[in-house]
């Protein structure tokens, strides 16, 4: 898989993770349906936040490593 394709996929996963975090926060703070569900509603909103965190945080670290590696390779190719 090329670096450009990998970076694109990682960015999509980050956006999806952040969207799940936002959805969980919305459920927790503003959704009356989730509030009426009681404990099950809390589990749903916390699950959205947890899955979003699991998707976004490690992906950001991996994306940073890929970009740093790419930058190092470009510096090695440049003439002094």
pLDDT at 23 over 80: yes
Q: For residues 63 and 5, what is the distance between their CA atoms, to the nearest angstrom?
A: 12
Which range of residues forms the domain containing residue 67?
3-77
- Structural domains counted in the chain: 1
26-42 pLDDT tens trace: 999 999 999 999 999 99
pLDDT at 80 over 80: no
* 6 CB neighbour count, 10 Å cutoff: 13
Q: For residues 57 and 77, what is the distance between their CA atoms, to the nearest angstrom?
A: 31
Question: CA 40, 44, 46, 47 torsion: positive or negative?
Answer: positive
């Amino acid at each position: 898989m090329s670096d450009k394709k990998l970076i694109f996929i990682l960015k999509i996963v980050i956006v999806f993770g952040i969207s799940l975090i936002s959805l969980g926060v919305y459920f927790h703070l503003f959704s009356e349906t989730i509030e009426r569900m009681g404990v099950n509603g809390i589990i749903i909103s916390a699950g959205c936040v947890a899955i979003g965190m699991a998707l976004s945080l490690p992906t950001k670290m991996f994306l940073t490593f890929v970009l740093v590696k790419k930058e190092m390779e470009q510096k090695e190719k440049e003439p002094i």
